Amino acid sequence: MGIFNKIFKSNCSCGSCNEKEASEESVIKKEGIMNIKILGTGCKNCINLTDNVKKALLNLNIEANIEKVTDMAEISSYGIMSTPGLVIDEKVVSYGKVLKPEEIEKIIEKL
């Protein structure tokens, strides 16, 4: 609660994200569809990794749920100490670097 009983909502710590973006990309989990999480604060590298994941999925013609995780407690629960992190179906496949779409495609094909 803020001054004069006003409620303030906090955005991502990077300042580039907003609540509207999060609500637009709300995750609808469907059975049989790959679930991908991008772990990070919303920095430039996190955004680039998200874009590269989308390109890889498009190239492979795969449908997936993509969720951005910005909560540091949840990120650390995956054992990630360096962002961005990439989690596919609850398995950490990369952290601390921005993978190229081709690298992401190879990882997905192995799963």
Name the residues annotated as catalytic: 43, 46
What's the CA gap between 31 and 28, in Å, rounded? 10
- The SS3 of residue 6 is coil
Q: How many helices (H) and strands (E) does the chain have?
A: 4, 4
The H or E element that residue 39 is part of is strand 34-39
The H or E element that residue 67 is part of is strand 64-69
